[in-house]
Structure 1
Amino acid sequence: MNITLARTYLAVLDLRNFNRAAEYLNVTQSTVTTRINSLESLVGQRLFHRSRSGVEPTDAGQRFRTYAEMIIQIWKQAQQDLLLPNARSTQFKFAAESALWPGLAKDFLKKIYRDNANISVLVENKSADAINSCLAQGIYDAALLYDVRPRTNVVFEYLFEEQLVLVSTTPRTQCVWHPEYTYVEWGRDFDMEHAKIKPPEITPPVIINYGNWALDWIEELGGSAYFPTRMIFDKVEEGTLHVVPDVNPFTRSVWFSYREKMAENDWFPQILNDLKEISERLKERNAGFIKKWKLL
């Protein structure tokens, strides 16, 4: 597969216009047309409907996105792998849902890097669906995520249950709906559970799909939102955030997924044990937090 064809396809898919795709790629419109025609010939399917107003993907064109992204991802990783310094000749390809970075994935990866002089790390933030798919394809070696999907040759290890707690920048009591509430998209399971308590006629004034951004937002502008306890331990103790009393937290399961063959590496059992120790400390601190604030 020509990587250039995959990149051109993605540009056309995102911009819905051959001319704009050409400008983005810094090539001529005829070059874009030739590349798309070549790609359609290779896959044996029409990928786009052309019209005077622009282009729209066919069903096949929409489905091909996942494969094009994987092709580019594998190529990028191959380039990085071949250019690794001799001192860190083993690459650990890791992904995580963004919500699991603070207090967990970050600490885990720092320990790997510090304790293993021969290992380099490639770290990416992806959705659960993308992570599960990439694990099955062998693009990632391991991942931390909430939503796991059974896959051949992929192992899933349960780590712990964590609570997402409602906190506010000013002390307040429970209410049906707070006007300064920020909704954080913590994933599909959270969305479904949250929908059960949200008044259907109300839309949150602020919706953010990245936890760190949401935390920055309410700290600067005020308001309240749900966060995993590991993100707010210290802020609650300092008094910069306040637990909203009498509001039940949401619970989510945290999993570590990895390709089965990773267990063959002599260094892997130790990093798995390190992750379990980090998780156990979080579990204990979380339990103490929940007990202190009488949230369950």
Structure 2
Amino acid sequence: MQIELIETFLDLCETRNFNRTAERLGITQSTVSGRVQALERALGARLFRRSRSGTELTTPGLRFEPHARALRLSWTEATRAARGGEDAPPTLRLGIQHDLVTSHAGEWIDTLRTALPDAAFYVEGDFSAQICIDLMAGDLDFGILFTPKPHPDLHFESLGDVTYRMVSTETGALNSVRRETYILGNYSPAFSRTHAELLPHLSAAPVSSGQDNVVAGLLSALGGTAYLREDTGLALAALGGVWPVEDAPPIRQPVFAAVHLRNRHRAHHRRMMTLGRRYLAGDRDAARG
């Protein structure tokens, strides 16, 4: 079976539109239709139903979709292995939540290289939703993220949490924080819910961002008050002009590991999950050992 048939089927599952899939894949609509028909002939089942309201998966199409994702992942792994050469180390592709890249990626990769000397690593920072998409597509092998996106093809495990604390250029007391100069960090849905429960009067700020480094930059440029990752806040405080708001409640953000369901029992992936838990727990030496 041609992998182009699977790629076209899965793209159409997302767009539910033959024209849109043709645009995304850089082919004609007739080619999309021809590929779908070829796949349907090979499977002996109709996969899509087209009507004035749009394109919908049939029951056989719904049943085939998770298998198609597994086929695409297997093809990706097979081509990578074939092109790598017999002596090339396996490359593990990691997606890490943006807020964890600047503070943890270096030490984390150093830990992994010590524990898994037979592997090579590719690292990129992204948001949780895109990491999950890339894991499903086979473009990543392992994800460290804030917000799991449940999917039949994905497996998630808790690694621990990171702490965010309030810092300010204006005050060290929570009751003196001004909403008009407050910079809201929308780091994840879980963070936002906790923030709204603890500090509802500050949850409608005039400036907000979803990345710790951006919030830190805004705080340095504009002044005011914001929640930053604990180590980011300490680093700013050390430079002067910023101090902790001591009576503001800390907010802990859960961190999760994510892998494709097919990889959940593989030795390297299990090892990375164990190392991640030890690392976030602060046991750097045990993680490296």
Instruction: Give the alignment's TM-score, normalised by structure 2.
Output: 0.64
1:97 aligns with 2:97: yes
Cα distance in 2 for residues equivalent to 1:147 and 1:220: 29
Give 1:33's aligned residue. Answer: 33
Task: Give 1:114 deviation, angstroms.
Answer: 6.9
* CA distance 1:197–1:30, shift in 2 (3 Å): same
Cα distance in 2 for residues equivalent to 1:229 and 1:43: 57
Contact 1:87 1:117 in 2 (8 A): no
**Structure 1 portions without partners, runs of 5+:** 283-296
Q: Give the count of matched residue pairs.
A: 271
* CA distance 1:205–1:16, shift in 2 (3 Å): farther
* CA distance 1:246–1:260, shift in 2 (3 Å): same
Task: Give 1:45 deviation, angstroms.
Answer: 5.7
* CA distance 1:144–1:91, shift in 2 (3 Å): same
Cα distance in 2 for residues equivalent to 1:212 and 1:63: 43
**Structure 2 portions without partners, runs of 5+:** 285-289
Aligned with 1:179: secondary structure? helix
Contact 1:10 1:68 in 2 (8 A): yes
What amino acid maps onto 1:185 in structure 2? N
Contact 2:12 2:21 in 1 (8 A): yes
Q: 1:280 aligns with which of 272, 279, 282?
A: 282
Cα distance in 1 for residues equivalent to 2:104 and 2:84: 26
CA deviation map 1:16-74 (0-9, x unaligned): 643343233222221122234445664946546443xx845559789988776665455
1:162 aligns with 2:167: no
Give 2:248's aligned residue. Answer: 247
Task: Give 1:120 deviation, angstroms.
Answer: 0.9
Equivalent residue runs for 1:38-49 within 5 Å? 38-39=38-39, 42=43, 44=45, 46-47=47-48, 49=50
* Backbone CA RMSD of aligned residues: 4.9
What amino acid maps onto 2:267 in structure 1? M
What amino acid maps onto 1:225 in structure 2? A
What amino acid maps onto 1:24 in structure 2? R
* CA distance 1:155–1:207, shift in 2 (3 Å): closer
Cα distance in 2 for residues equivalent to 1:188 and 1:13: 26
Cα distance in 2 for residues equivalent to 1:239 and 1:155: 40
Aligned with 1:171: secondary structure? coil
Task: Give 1:190 deviation, angstroms.
Answer: 1.9
Cα distance in 2 for residues equivalent to 1:276 and 1:212: 25
Question: Quick check: 125-134 or 232-241, which moved more?
Answer: 125-134
Give 2:238's aligned residue. Answer: 237
Cα distance in 2 for residues equivalent to 1:94 and 1:20: 30
> Identity of paired residues, percent?
22
Task: Give 1:260 deviation, angstroms.
Answer: 3.9
